[in-house]
Structure 1
Amino acid sequence: MNPFVSASWLHGRDGVAVVDVRDAWEYDSIGHVPGAVNVPFDRFRSDEGEAGKLPPRKDWEALLSESGVATDAEIVAYDDTQGVFAARFVVTALLLGHDPKKVHLLDGDFSSWQRDHETTTETVDPTPTEYESDPDAETPLVDFETVQGLLPAAEAGDVTLVDTREDWEFAEGHLPGAVQLDWREVVDEETRGLKPEDELRDLLEGRGIVPEKRTVLYCNTARRVSHTYLVLRELGYERVELYEGSLTEWRERGGELASE
């Protein structure tokens, strides 16, 4: 699995379904990658759906079908916010069964393309497909009960619970035993892409987030956690899971919180 691809990797590559998840006005007026279809973030977000904030499967299939994305397509998604919204699109595709080898995030967001390659304001009129997700695909999701059962192991240091929110959010309340890693810490502010691999590994190991341990990620509504999940997979972490309900569900169900 190689979740992140560069603008140079994408440039000139045929047969890739490029998805721009920015708002429609940005896509239309600022410009976009030639051939990219516009699928704004709100269109694949659901307050009530499968596993918390995922859209219902039938809605996801309809959305990709009308966007011209084939079931076996190689997909690259991007935004202009360092990848956090596009990461949610990528992870949604993964969780609903798209081939993990064929769905990617553009490293460095739209700006990485804009710096070196041509953009356009021409709207793409995609040819509809009949996209089919895979309901039997294995996913890295864990539920409330699973996370609740992992708390003793997390507090003992045997499992790593990672809170991907900001410092102040973590201080106000987090899962017992969790470590904090703001998702933005892995991003280079200048390039808007990932920091060098050695810096990332040092950062993660310094927080106790190591490949050998089972790692469970959460935030508030599973957007920020999506980016961190892709980063860990890019670095070869195999034992990474997502608590999709995150703290929104945790609080609603009366889960225990720690604060500091």
Structure 2
Amino acid sequence: MDEFVVTPAWLSDRLEDPHSQSQPQIRIVDVREPWEFEGIGHVPGAVNIPFDRFRDEGDADRGMLPGSDVFAELVEEAGIEPDDTIVAYDDTHGVFAARFVVTALLYGHEDVRLLDGDYSAWNREYETTSDASEVEASSYEPEPLALEESPLIEREDVERAIDRGALLVDTREQFEFEEARLPGAVRFDWREVVDDETRGLKPRAEIEALLAERGITPDRELVLYCNTARRISHTYVVLRALGYEDVSFYEGSLTEWLAADGRVESGPVSSSNSDSDD
């Protein structure tokens, strides 16, 4: 799974032995708020790119991608080069960091990974610091994925996917799912793959079994959605790490769907399409 998700031990080994970091260089991105990064501490060498800076904060497209120019400015300030290996983390089981991972992938950064676990998990076993990281600004030219390569799909694409029998996966909580959901969707709360004790991902076999219970299997065409594309980012990274290939990312999610008066279902669902609250 380390093509998309890396363990704290993997990262620690590379921090302890810089000579093992022949190109590409490891760049660690902390997406927490600045007061957390500076006041609580961070992984040594990490740079701070807060979550709200890499998403659109406008009223029309709140929570959407920030735009390639904004992304380029952020990573240039952080000293990130196009060939660097990026490892992102947060302190919320990886859900905010996963949004950075997906954002970087969509803007063409080839090697970007999610730290398995979060800052609290790292802090249990490894060194942290409050010292500012020395950064030399870089030059960065994003290369957004072409339409045929990108997992992003629009509302019209979702409607066509529904018509051809794709499986829609809702990554939200039970009460949200019952209030309104896309037609035929199954619920798979993004937190189901997280171990509350370790704060990292559950074992691969356990995750695969949980997915299979909902019919979320590698042979299916999958369309992920939530409200504003944060929670589906985590599920998307996990599915890609497991080798799932036919996974679409509906960034507009339910917010856009409702604004366009799209068809929805609501109310309780049968036991085959529900689960206990996390």
TM-score > 0.5 by shorter chain: yes
Counterpart in the other structure of 1:109: 118
Deviation of 1:213 (Å): 0.7
- Number of residue pairs matched? 254
Counterpart in the other structure of 2:26: 16
Task: Point out where structure 2 has 5 or more consecutive residues left out of the alignment.
Answer: 15-20, 268-278
Change (3 A) 1:107 1:9: same
Query: TM-score with structure 1 length normalisation?
Result: 0.94
Between the aligned partners of 1:126 and 1:211, the Cα distance in structure 2 is: 41
Alignment map for 1:1-260 (pairs within 5 Å): 2-13=3-14, 14=21, 15-48=25-58, 53-99=64-110, 102-137=111-146, 138-153=149-164, 158-260=165-267
Deviation of 1:111 (Å): 2.1
Query: What's the CA shift string for 1:43-100, capped at 9, x where partnerless?
Result: 111045999700011011011101111111100000000000000000000111111x
RMSD, aligned α-carbons: 1.6
Q: Is the Cα–Cα contact under 8 Å of residues 82 and 108 in structure 1 kept in the other structure? A: yes
Between the aligned partners of 1:50 and 1:69, the Cα distance in structure 2 is: 26
Query: TM-score with structure 2 length normalisation?
Result: 0.88
Task: Point out where structure 1 has 5 or more consecutive residues left out of the alignment.
Answer: none
Range 43-52 or range 117-126, more displaced: 43-52
For the residue of structure 2 that corresponds to 1:142, the secondary structure is coil
Change (3 A) 1:82 1:136: closer
Query: What's the CA shift string for 1:132-159, capped at 9, x where partnerless?
Result: 1113542111100000122233xxxx31
For the residue of structure 1 that corresponds to 2:235, the secondary structure is helix
Between the aligned partners of 1:75 and 1:5, the Cα distance in structure 2 is: 11
Q: Is the Cα–Cα contact under 8 Å of residues 56 and 62 in structure 2 kept in the other structure? A: no
Query: What's the CA shift string for 1:10-53, capped at 9, x where partnerless?
Result: 11413201000011111111110111001110111104599970
Query: What's the CA shift string for 1:126-182, capped at 9, x where partnerless?
Result: 1000111113542111100000122233xxxx3110000000000000000100001
Between the aligned partners of 1:54 and 1:63, the Cα distance in structure 2 is: 13
Between the aligned partners of 1:164 and 1:2, the Cα distance in structure 2 is: 23
Between the aligned partners of 1:52 and 1:41, the Cα distance in structure 2 is: 10
Q: Is the Cα–Cα contact under 8 Å of residues 50 and 57 in structure 1 kept in the other structure? A: no
Between the aligned partners of 2:202 and 2:193, the Cα distance in structure 1 is: 6
Counterpart in the other structure of 2:17: none
Q: Is the Cα–Cα contact under 8 Å of residues 79 and 137 in structure 2 kept in the other structure? A: yes
Between the aligned partners of 1:52 and 1:22, the Cα distance in structure 2 is: 16
Between the aligned partners of 2:68 and 2:262, the Cα distance in structure 1 is: 28
Deviation of 1:114 (Å): 1.1
Between the aligned partners of 2:212 and 2:251, the Cα distance in structure 1 is: 24
Percent identity (aligned): 56
